[in-house]
Structure 1
Amino acid sequence: MLGVISVEAPGLSVGAVARRLGVSASTLRTWDRRYGIGPSRRSEGSHRRYDPSDVQRLEVMNRLIMQGAPPGEAARVALGEEGVRERAPRAHGAGGNRLALSTVPDRTRGLARAVMALNGPVVTETVREAVARDGVIPAWEELIAPVLRGIGERYAATGEAVEIEHFLSGTALAALAEVRPPSPGAETRPVLLACAPEEQHSLPAYALGAALAERGIASRMLGARVPERALRDAVEKIGPGAVFLWSQMAHTGDVGVLERIPGGRPALRVIIGGPGWERPLPEGVRFVESLREALEAVAEALGVPD
């Protein structure tokens, strides 16, 4: 629990308050914008500053969130709209600063705690060590994916934690990017990795890219929200041996995009993953349910031995 912060005029900047409270500056700005709990003072340069009463309210809000209150309720309490309680009710089991995880290893719970605290160095190092020790797929299945599911469940229950998902995706991606790609001159054609048009959730595609690199298979990453025309142009320019497309959200999984991917010689294998794809799928398109299955499907399409 944090103690009362002593603030001297002319007040503290958002960065200074974020460091003292142990949250990110973007979180403070979100609280200000969404709940009206922000700085009330301006410096001579018109920069907004937090005075002692502002910081004390933020301490109350932060403490209640850590104890399990939804941010909106915590803000109302901190602003004096309700009496401050020693312990706020938990939000549908979301656990305040915890994620509702099923039976998982201690290191997975440790990663979840670091993610909820927005502790970038710890998250990056935890993922990096897991990849180096166990490989990309075990690190994904046993460490990253369970935490992502926990974040998704929290969002479904409370509407919160979008910033937590973005934070984990960014930090995990940095660690996965350290997996060395194969050296130039690989005999197999590369794999083209992309997200469906308008799909912004790209971490699974990057994880597959890291798993392919670990396996010695070259890939080309187009990233999130790839327009259909750009996808077709990339296929024609690169001549990949396989294309992997990810769709997380239902409105992004248009199977018509799959039907219009140019063919190739030898035949181009189209592999898709994610819960967003429509059904039925076009003939010849393979749907995979896991990162491990995606890696196996790509290797099979390229004729890469185990």
Structure 2
Amino acid sequence: MDREPGLGVGAVARHLGVAAATLRTWDRRYGIGPSGRSPGGHRRYTPADLARLEAMQRSIIAGAPPAEAARAALNEPHGAPPHPRGHGAGGNRVPLGDLPAGSDPAEVRGLARAAMALDAPAMGRAVRAAIADRGVVEAWDCLIVPVLKGIGRKYAASGECVEVEHLLSTVLVGCLVEVAPPARPSNPRPVLLACAPEEQHTLPVHALAAALAQADISSALLGARVPASALAAAIRRAGPNAVLVWSQTARTGDDPGWLDGLPGSRPAVRLLVGGPGWNRGRLPSSARLVTDLSEAVTEIGSAFTRP
């Protein structure tokens, strides 16, 4: 074993997408820890140890309590993993597909593994680090969206991972709302961000609010399922230069005619819509469709920077 020292706890934690503290807890509580030693006498995970941990992680994701998952993994010969479960979706892997330019494949895989392990602290650390290093727009485009799309592919192939998507979305919203609002916003009145009536997918508008904050633009996020009458009242109250309405599903964006009934303001409000749910052929001329986060920030910024 001295000839094959194996991996330290940090390397194994990154491989599995869990916190190092989680590995130490599993070792202490369930006896599923490193069995090797480095030349200097430090404990190291062998390939068999790693296989046991992977088997334990799969069982936990499938719903087994950690103690039961550990016992099953320890009883497997040499920690050999069972045949992958799933229906052509890569077992417990997230099918990421082609990554956009600027993505770090290791970073994307790390967040995907943390999501599949339901390791909220690890997810939070990965997302906060990306936002701090590259800003909200690039973190969204190059890290968050690829993982969300991958989970969507896995769900489409197997019907699994609803819980993964829900927990990841919760963690993402928590990270995005931590982005500090601008101390001196460039807009005199906050931009209004809302979901279409009956639309419940709020994550993209949280991302936009955070991206706007980093661009020194203040916003007011009205949240999910905003009735047309409530949005109209908010426009009259706030007098914003720009409003963005999000539709994720065709059910909420198929009949967008109500947008034409929204009031204007002084100066005139720029009405933007975003999301894949909108029926583009039926959008009123008063509404401009934005197709990504960067375009939304640019369009909103130009609404009150024009001479």
**TM-score (normalised: structure 1):** 0.71
Quote the residue 1:101 is aligned against: 96
Judged with a 3 Å threshold, the aligned counterparts in structure 2 of structure 1 residues 206 and 173 are, in CA distance, closer, same or farther, namely: same
1:275 aligns with 2:276: yes
8 A Cα contact 1:24 1:118, kept in partner? no
Judged with a 3 Å threshold, the aligned counterparts in structure 2 of structure 1 residues 260 and 145 are, in CA distance, closer, same or farther, namely: same
Q: How does 1:250-289 map to 2 (within 5 A)?
A: 250-253=250-253, 254-278=255-279, 279-289=281-291
8 A Cα contact 1:208 1:295, kept in partner? yes
The separation in 1 between residues aligned to 2:185 and 2:87, in whole angstroms, is 54
Q: How does 1:10-21 map to 2 (within 5 A)?
A: none
- Say which SS state the counterpart of residue 220 (structure 1) adopts: strand
Judged with a 3 Å threshold, the aligned counterparts in structure 2 of structure 1 residues 132 and 88 are, in CA distance, closer, same or farther, namely: closer
Quote the residue 1:205 is aligned against: 205
8 A Cα contact 2:187 2:218, kept in partner? no
8 A Cα contact 2:246 2:275, kept in partner? yes
8 A Cα contact 2:273 2:289, kept in partner? yes
Residue 96 of structure 1: CA displacement?
A: 2.3
Q: Which amino acid is the alignment partner of residue 236 of structure 1?
A: R
Residue 23 of structure 1: CA displacement?
A: 8.9
Task: Report sequence identity in percent.
Answer: 47
Moved more, 236-245 or 203-212: 236-245
8 A Cα contact 1:189 1:302, kept in partner? no
Quote the residue 1:180 is aligned against: 180
Residue 217 of structure 1: CA displacement?
A: 0.4
Quote the residue 1:298 is aligned against: 300
| Uncovered stretches (5+) of structure 1, i.e. residues with no partner | 7-20, 32-37, 39-49, 68-84
Q: Which amino acid is the alignment partner of residue 256 of structure 2?
A: V
Residue 257 of structure 1: CA displacement?
A: 2.8
Judged with a 3 Å threshold, the aligned counterparts in structure 2 of structure 1 residues 91 and 286 are, in CA distance, closer, same or farther, namely: same
Q: Which amino acid is the alignment partner of residue 225 of structure 2?
A: R
The separation in 2 between residues aligned to 1:178 and 1:235, in whole angstroms, is 26
Residue 304 of structure 1: CA displacement?
A: 6.9
Quote the residue 2:230 is aligned against: 230
The separation in 2 between residues aligned to 1:143 and 1:86, in whole angstroms, is 30
Moved more, 164-173 or 96-105: 96-105
8 A Cα contact 2:187 2:304, kept in partner? no
The separation in 2 between residues aligned to 1:275 and 1:293, in whole angstroms, is 15
**TM-score (normalised: structure 2):** 0.71
The separation in 2 between residues aligned to 1:23 and 1:251, in whole angstroms, is 35
Quote the residue 1:190 is aligned against: 190
Judged with a 3 Å threshold, the aligned counterparts in structure 2 of structure 1 residues 134 and 24 are, in CA distance, closer, same or farther, namely: farther
- Say which SS state the counterpart of residue 171 (structure 2) adopts: helix
Q: How does 1:1-306 map to 2 (within 5 A)?
A: 55=68, 86-88=82-84, 90-92=86-88, 94-104=89-99, 105-183=105-183, 187-253=187-253, 254-278=255-279, 279-303=281-305
The separation in 2 between residues aligned to 1:203 and 1:59, in whole angstroms, is 37
